[in-house]
């Protein structure tokens, strides 16, 4: 078995640098994903607190219901998503038949040879 390293000499520092760059890249992506998760988790909590505060000010939320979770259950979200998907598929399916009709006037400046770029004035 012939290895590529037998024909080329790769300095050891290049291999170490490439491993360090790979590890740093993976860490950056992992940290970014964790930060995004924390951001969206915190965003949902803040929006839930603002909704409870608004309902409390309007008098629609009693003291007993303050500990109640106001999130929408997953099956309701799935039903809403399915309804939206089905509502976009209400139009008729196309027949996929193309009809090409010959135009009676075939002249067009787009197809005219006199406007070509190769005509040089003398």
Whole-number Å distance between alpha carbons of 101 and 97 = 13
Is residue 54 domain-resident?
Answer: yes
Structural domain span for residue 41: 13-71
Is residue 51 domain-resident?
Answer: yes
Is residue 20 domain-resident?
Answer: yes
H-state helical runs in 1-122: 12-58, 74-88
- Model confidence at 106, pLDDT cuts 50, 70, 90, reads low
In order of 35, 36, 39, the CA distances from 31 in angstroms are 6, 9, 12
Mean pLDDT rounded to a whole number for the chain: 79
Q: What is the pLDDT of residues 72-81, one digit of tens each?
A: 888 999 999 9
> Does residue 19 or residue 99 have the better pLDDT?
19
Is residue 38 domain-resident?
Answer: yes
Whole-number Å distance between alpha carbons of 52 and 66 = 7
**Averaged pLDDT, 99-107:** 68
Lowest-pLDDT range of 35-39, 104-108, 115-119: 115-119
- Asked if residues 51 and 70 have their Cβ atoms less than 8 Å apart, the reply is yes
SS3 115: helix
**Averaged pLDDT, 93-107:** 66
Is residue 8 domain-resident?
Answer: no
**Averaged pLDDT, 63-86:** 82
Is residue 114 domain-resident?
Answer: no
Whole-number Å distance between alpha carbons of 38 and 43 = 8
Whether pLDDT at 1 is above 60 = no
The tally of domains found in the chain comes to 1
Instruction: Give this prediction's pTM.
Output: 0.48
- Asked if residues 100 and 82 have their Cβ atoms less than 8 Å apart, the reply is no
Is residue 98 domain-resident?
Answer: no
- Asked if residues 51 and 33 have their Cβ atoms less than 8 Å apart, the reply is no
């Amino acid at each position: 078995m012939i290895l590529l390293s037998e024909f080329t000499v790769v300095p050891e520092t290049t291999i170490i640098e490439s491993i360090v760059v790979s590890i740093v890249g993976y860490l950056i992506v992992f940290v970014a994903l964790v930060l995004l998760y924390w951001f969206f988790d915190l965003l949902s909590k803040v929006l839930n607190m603002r909704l409870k505060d608004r309902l409390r000010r309007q008098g629609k939320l009693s003291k007993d219901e303050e500990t109640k979770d106001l999130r929408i259950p997953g099956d309701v979200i799935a039903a809403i998503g399915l309804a939206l998907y089905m509502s976009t598929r209400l139009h008729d399916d196309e027949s996929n038949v193309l009809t090409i009709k010959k135009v009676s006037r075939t002249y067009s400046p787009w197809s005219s040879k006199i406007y070509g770029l190769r005509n040089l004035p003398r």
